[in-house]
Amino acid sequence: MVICIGVLTFALAAHRLLNERHGLAFVMLATMTIASSFFVIKIPTINCRITVSDTLLFLTMLLFGGPAAVVVGALAGLISALYISKKTITVLFNFSLMAISSFVTASAFQWSMEILNTTAAREPRAPSLASLCVISLVHYSVNSGFVSIDHSLKTASPFFRTWKTHYLWTSVSYFIGAIAAGTIARLTAVFGFPTLILTAPVIVMLYLTYQTYLKTVETSAAQAEQARQFAEQQQIYISELELTRKELHASREHFRNAALHDMLTGLPNRTLLLDRLHVAIDHSARSTSSVFAVLFMDLDRFKIVNDSLGHAAGDQLLVTTARRLQAALRSSDTVARLGGDEFAVILDGVDSSGRVLKIADSLLHVVSQPIHINGQGVWTTASIGIALSTSRCYLQPEELLRDADTAMYQAKTSGRGRWELFETAMHHEELRFMTRGNELRPSCWREESIDDIPYSAAPIAQPLDRPFKTTADIQM
């Protein structure tokens, strides 16, 4: 529809223009207007292009009338469309639209001149500001309106949003072009047509200046985009470094925790227990009122459970026992697994030995409670050896563990399922048994090398009157 109406409008305007027979001035102005269509300006940040031919088109309308503006505007639109796109339908649409908008604008200008100022209607070279605003508004509305309708139909988007996004700010060029055309028309009326020729270099300079400005803006935008991308890359790099740092910290904490805790129960192991005993001994040395105790616990009948029900059942028994011990103690106390079925407890800040013995009784009760494993009730007891920090002058944690271990073996010897408080006589008894063992060894063996003794001649070790505790026994 636009193409049909535009072609018809152009044909009628061209017919009238041939009858008017304008001179060389019109030819020069028309040439300048059509040539200016090659100077296409792209507006930054929006998908729109404008030309500087609007000012010369308005000037053609003011100086030579509507038909001249229709023909020149259509040809300028044709050239501009060929510069932007190679599609035939687009070129014809732009050509026809410029013919229609120029015709409507010329009619509106003539009407505004007759309504606003009848005197000025006879002299178009001296238009009023209101008339200039009318032609700029009409020309902009027709052009942007038809193009927005075409774009919204093709993209199925709302008309107003399309117009606001792509064509709202182009109105500035139409209003500026109309005012510039009115100013040049007045100067031409006073000084003659050569004034128009003098304005051509000014227009070219303004165009080149604006193009330089656009290139500067594009360069700045490109640099800003590069800076933004660089900042994003740096942010990603920093995030990756932070993630790596957190992973390393988590890994370090994991290995530190693994080095200081038992893998099965999660309790502190021997290393961490000795470290906390160091702290307790140092604190006790600085403060005479600080008293602590070490409880060495060994489960009774654990080997029977392990052999009869399997290692998985034994592990479950150890885990359950560890949880029960933790629940029965204060948060300031320490319960550790030393290995196998052996546990150790540090009771820090106790007020008397009686309090320690009551805690030992409660731990025996907790451990003796049945545990259900695979639907079967399992129970066990514990033997506990207790060493108080006030029993001897302890300087090393190993001494405390040794004495508590000695008391624990005394509890096992005395019937199991009970506790024994370490006494110095127990340590002396241990030394006596070790001395007796060392004294018995030379009497049982001849001076010959063990390699020279036949197997049948090897002496049979006689059992002692109490179990002899070795390092292997302690670790089991």
Domain ranges of the chain: 2-192, 270-441+462-475
Mean pLDDT of 432-448: 56
| Mean pLDDT over the full length of the chain | 79
Positive or negative, the CA dihedral 108, 113, 118, 122 is negative
**Spatial CA neighbour of 334 closest among 287, 252, 421, 400:** 400
Task: Look up tokens 């508004």; give the residue.
Answer: 137
Q: Is 108 a residue whose pLDDT tops 80? A: yes
Q: Is 18 a residue whose pLDDT tops 50? A: yes
C-alpha 432/C-alpha 8 separation (Å) is 130
Neighbouring residues of 34: CB distance < 8 A, sequence distance ≥ 6? 53, 72, 75, 76, 79
Model pTM greater than 0.85?
no
**Spatial CA neighbour of 50 closest among 160, 139, 183:** 139
| Planar angle of CA 433, 395, 407, nearest 5 degrees | 35
Q: Decide which of 326 and 351 is more confident.
A: 326
In the CATH hierarchy, which fold is given to the domain comprising 270-441+462-475? Alpha-Beta Plaits (3.30.70)
Neighbouring C-beta atoms of residue 404, cutoff 10 Å: 25
Residues 404/407/409/410 CA torsion (nearest 10 deg): 180
C-alpha 22/C-alpha 173 separation (Å) is 28
At 275 the pLDDT is: 93
Please say whether the structural domain 2-192 has been given the CATH code 1.10.1760.20.
yes
At 264 the pLDDT is: 92
At 224 the pLDDT is: 87
Neighbouring C-beta atoms of residue 372, cutoff 10 Å: 10
Percent of the chain with pLDDT over 70: 78
* Residue 139 near residue 174, CB atoms below 8 Å: yes
Lowest mean pLDDT among 39-43, 75-79, 333-337: 39-43
**What's 457's DSSP letter?**
G
The answer to whether domain 2-192 and domain 270-441+462-475 are alike in fold is: no
Neighbouring residues of 142: CB distance < 8 A, sequence distance ≥ 6? 97, 100, 101, 104, 105
At 84 the pLDDT is: 73
**30-54 tens-digit pLDDT:** 888 787 776 666 655 555 555 667 7
H-helix or E-strand spanning residue 208: helix 194-260
Q: Decide which of 242 and 460 is more confident.
A: 242
- The pairing of beta strand 419-421 with beta strand 381-388: parallel
* Residue 69 near residue 60, CB atoms below 8 Å: yes
C-alpha 204/C-alpha 56 separation (Å) is 12
**Phi, psi torsion values for 127, nearest 5 degrees:** -75, 155
At 450 the pLDDT is: 42
Residue type at 103? F
Percent of the chain with pLDDT over 90: 22
**Phi, psi torsion values for 287, nearest 5 degrees:** -130, 115
| Planar angle of CA 406, 412, 414, nearest 5 degrees | 105
Mean pLDDT of 68-90: 83
